[in-house]
Each structure stands twice: as structure tokens, then as C-alpha cells.
Amino acid sequence: MSKNTAAITAVGAYVPEDVLTNQMLEKMVDTNDEWITSRTGIKERRILKDPEKGTSYMAIKAAENLIEKSGIDPTEIDLVLLATVTPDLPVAATAVYVATQIGATNAFAYDLQAACSGFLYGMSTAAAYIEAGRYKKVLLIGADKMSSIIDYTDRTTCIIFGDGAGAVLFEPNYEGLGLQDEYLRSDGIGRHSLKIEAGGSLMPPSEVTVAKKLHFVQQDGKTVFKFAVSNMADVSELIMKRNDLTNNDINWLVAHQANQRIVSATANRMKLEDEKVLMNIERYGNTTSATLPLLLSDFEQQFKKGDNIVFATFGGGFTWGSIYLKWAYNS
């Protein structure tokens, strides 16, 4: 029997209907469309406005979209992983609720948190379970309601983030397709450069933390940008060298949609043509854990069996990494 690798066999996605454009932000904070577009590449983002709906709502919708498209029986799913920084509740894992709601009654489930690298880390986790032969079908979801943790009077963060969810199904493959290699990294030096200061065990919620808006995302933009540009490019170049891949061998770059300039810098280091660099940041902004699966969903029809895809991410913590994957089916 040939080696068992973990391949993506289905994709699903969901974004809320409500759109927050740059022009709308101009009326909320001191900014403008030209400034936002030139520095980030973002034109609009989706917002889940209903206060009674959390991250689980979008995760369920993305999973249901995958189930409908693939025709899979949810009871066949062995494991549900949810990458998110915005769980519904602090203790009860959101993935558990999602699994129950989609009918994955034979699966166990848990959340995974690595900021914007969460989905990439989840790919590694899902693949490890598949390659070990423990499970046959692993559903990996990336979902975040970033609007729930953004201060819309802070122009350094409110222009960047949006809400959304995406999902993929991992299954065993015996044709040499699927996940080929990974290089995942982290460094605690970034702990204070991208954070939510209050709400954890170090600074529990209080009247003071709420009054000081310490439950919203805070970002040292210059530091994060500097580390993201160098590290995303470094790991992407390394994964190519380690697998003897040239720019001609790569069909697609699927990079975290944090900033158009960061993605372009990574693509330039890889010497990739623009048409190989997948981008949808202009429509969604940075959806954190959902950016990678949303790219896969938006461009799924262009993928062909055997395509070489390089994934790259950078997130708070700091966390970052790259994965080399061979696409497993003709879309």
C-alpha cells in the first residue's frame, strides 16, 4: 500500500450579507478610501450585525455549505476542528456546538487558537490525525466574528478586519496528493504587538477594563508589518527550497489576507507571477482564521488535480508558517 497522505476533498464558505465599505468608514473615523486602499488593498469587509449571532453561526453555515456541495453524510465525520480567536463563549468550545448543530454526532470537536495562523496550524493538526490512520474524515473550519472585538473609533484596526468563515474536509489519499510538507513557527516576542489586553487570567473583566476599551484588539502596526513581511516570505521560500520547487512548479500562492503589500512581498520572494497569487482582501478584509479557506472557496473552480499550492500565514503571538500541498481533485 502506498503512503497515506492527507488531502483536501471538499471546501465550503460563508460571509455575512452586510457590507462595510471604505466610504462608510470615512464617516466613522478620520480616514479615507485612498489611504485604506493604498496601504492595505481593502475596499470593503463583511459584518455579522445580528448581536444574537456569534462565530458559531458562520462556522455552521460554512460547514453546511461544504456538506451540501460534497454530499457527505455528517455522521461520517470523525473530528471537527475550529480555528478561531472569537469563540462564542470563553469555556465551552465553539467547535463542540458546531459539530452538534451540523449533525456530526459521531465526531469529537475542539477549538484551536493561533490568531491569523490558526487555520494553517489546523491543517497540520488535521493532516497528522489522517496520516496516523486514526481518523478518515476531519472537518477543519476557520471562522471569526472580528467585528465583536474591534473598536470602531480606532482607525488603526477598524479598517482592517471583517467577519467570515470557511471550511475544508481532509481525507486520506494514496496517490501522493494532499499535504506534502510544513514549516510552522512561533515567537513570544510578539505577545504585546497584537493583543487584547483584558479578559484573560492576567486581567479579568472589570468596570475599569471596559471603560478603557481593553477588550478590543490593539495592534502595533509597524512592528507587525515588519515581522510579517520578513517571516511570511522566509518560510515560503524555505518550503520551496526544501522541496526542490521553482517558481515554475508553483501553481498558486494562498497567503493570509492581512495586507496586500505583505502578500506581494511574499510572492516577490517566491518570484511568482501575479496571476498565481490569490487575493480577495479587497472584498473581505482580514477575516483572521477564515482568510485561507475563503480563498480556497473563491478560487476553487480554478484548481486542478495535482496543482502545487503554497500556503503562508502570519499572526499574533507571533505565529507564522508555510505549508506545501498538492490539490487532490478537479473542481
Q: Which residues does the annotation mark as catalytic? A: 116, 256, 286
Partners of 69 in beta bridges? none
Helix residue spans in 22-133 (DSSP H): 22-26, 33-40, 55-70, 94-101, 118-131
**Contact (Cβ atoms closer than 8 angstroms) between residue 317 and residue 328:** no
Cis-peptide, bond into residue 318, ω within 30° of zero? yes
- Rounded distance, CA 58 to CA 306, Å? 30
- Taking each helix axis from N to C end, the angle separating 33-40 and 260-270, rounded to the nearest 10 degrees, works out to 30
Cα–Cα distances in Å, from 255 out to 57, 151, 312, 322? 25, 26, 5, 9
107: nearest Cα among 119, 95, 121: 95
Enter the C-alpha cell of residue 249. 512548479
Q: 61: Cβ–Cβ under 8 A, 6 or more apart, which residues?
A: 14, 165
Q: Position 52: which residue type? A: E
- Rounded distance, CA 41 to CA 258, Å? 9
Length of the chain: 331
Starting at the edge strand that comes first in sequence, how are the strands of the sheet with 5-14 ordered?
5-14, 163-173, 138-145, 79-83, 108-112
Which residue has 500500500 as its cell numbers? 1
- Rounded distance, CA 256 to CA 319, Å? 12
Q: Name all contacts of 248-251 with Cβ < 8 Å and 24+ positions apart.
A: 249/308, 250/276, 250/308, 250/309, 250/310, 251/276, 251/303, 251/304, 251/307, 251/308, 251/309, 251/327
